[in-house]
Structure 1
Amino acid sequence: MTGGSGVVGRALIDELSHDFDVVCMRNRNPVDDVRVSEFAGSFAEPRLGLSAGDYAVLSRRVDVIVHAAAATSWREDPRRIREVNLGGPTALLELATQASAPLYFFSTAFVADPPSAQGHSPGAAAYVQSKIEAEALVRSHPVPSVIVRPSIVIGDSADGRMAAFQGLHAVLGAIVRGAAPMIPMPASALIDFVPQDLVAAVIGRLVREEVTSGEYWLTAGDQALCARQIMDLCMGLAGDLGLSTREPRLIPTEAVDRLILPLLEDSLPAPLQAKFRDLLEFAWLFQSTDPLPNSLPELGFAAQVTTEELRKTAYLSMRYWAQVKGLAAGDDDGRAA
């Protein structure tokens, strides 16, 4: 497995370590979990950076490959994003060939509607394009493979915990704190997210049932909360935390382009300009009222992605965020930052 130190990777370890011998390839960040073994590797080097002997041992040991690692920061150089997000599947398809093992590849649900590279989200556009190209690479290879496309992954459905917060938490956190006077999305836009344990459970089922082909959308689909519902949730959490937060306005992006952006240089200091532009880049995810495709009902997980269940999960995830940020009392084990 790759990506073991990340949000999805930690959840996958929870899901798979009970009945699988999990071997994690890491890059910079150690997995540091007694339930798995790990080795340092690199997609850029032959044989993942291993000696010929160690690579042969790994090939004999592995019978399933789950590729959850990726360059996900939109602030990275687009060339670096593409290098990592194509280099990973390329190297692991080679390992899968040697090991006669199926590959389970994590893409993103946002390949359904990629942003323009000339718009407000060049980093996001580079990320999504790299996933589109990686999917094509996996799809064209003879190795048995499964492509999964999760939307935004948030905290555990039971308690909201997760290894690291996502961009969505930054946006919702700004609302809770009263740090965002406006949010560039229409009130009816759908905010699609799924809990990390659900994503892991889907992979667990596919692996255990030896499903080695297909493409699956792991999304909320037509059950996704809209921006207005998310705003109400954030304002409710702010009230529960005892914060006197002024509700920001939801403004369509075209109005932001026409009215707000031209005034930024005159009205905001540089640090706030940068924060707003980051918010604008992330907001491209949430401009559509059309639901994303969703395979979860056909996989037997419809009950976990009802609007009400997702509302509860979002509240728990943001409540955990508030605990970590020191805004709420609770057991903080420091897992997220």
Structure 2
Amino acid sequence: MRIFRRRGFVITLAVLVLAGLALYLGNSSTLAGPEAGRRPFLLAHRGLAQTFDLQGVAADTCTATRIHPPQVSFLENTVPSLQAAFAAGADAAEIDVQLTRDGRLAVFHDATLDCRTDGVGTVAEHTLDELRALDLGYGYTADGGASHPLRGKGVGLLPTVPEVFAALPGRELKLDLKHDTPAEGAAVAAFLQTLPPDRLAAVTVTGGDQAVAAVADRLPQVRTSSKAIIKRCLLRYFGEGWTGHVPSDCRHRELIVPIEYGKWLWGWPNRFVARMREADTRVVLVRYVGDWSAGFDTPADLATLPKGWTGAIWTNRVDVIAPLLTR
């Protein structure tokens, strides 16, 4: 009987070792290696514009009053800013979308106007013509208000979503919906439905769960992402990804992954990115400063990327990053 017990133990141990080896071989990023000839996909956050210090930022902080001394002359979410980002090497650009009082799709980030502009109130309280009259560069300062280097340079620059698409034919765009309402999602979907299929293939829509769902219900062919989508995908992948299978909840999506959390995903980084790419899902890597997502904007930031990273990275300074990746 002792011999049989010993033999059973050896067989069990062998099975466990083989299972562990198979698990390792099937999910080893080192063995998979990076995809040859690929560099990171560059997502330009709000185009090419001003950056600011995230240390100490709270939900109600006016970031325009804490910018770094300007190194570029552009204002975020404007057509010149987006054109400059693509000229510098961006693969896609993210814009922020809000509905105006007269139902237009304005491209603007903040909840209120009084931080960056010379206006007050919200986008939803103004017509597009009223918003166009504002100076988008009014509030920017790098020295506590002693000077305002961009004041007077943003009058009339606030664009609509259709104007951005018209100004950037053939370019890939990500629309971030700032208000989580079905009405905002429906308005975005109504515009997107006017685009040809090849243009829709280069569109991603992100935002709150309700707004994004309103787009996805009408346009399932558009890549989408929200907190609920990402949560469903990653929870299912955590349970199933060890097999190499990509769950349906992870297909045709955009996944925002903080660099600190990637190591918990099966096949991270190279095999994971390759699996998601095969499922038509883009993995966008972000880093965090405090509670806020930050871009990969400096050589030091790039040094923190996983070796051979070929997924997407989120950047505010594509003009700095693109040349480094090219070299």
- TM normalised by structure 2 equals 0.27
- TM normalised by structure 1 equals 0.26
The structure carrying a bigger helix percent of its residues is 1
Larger-gyration structure (1/2): 2
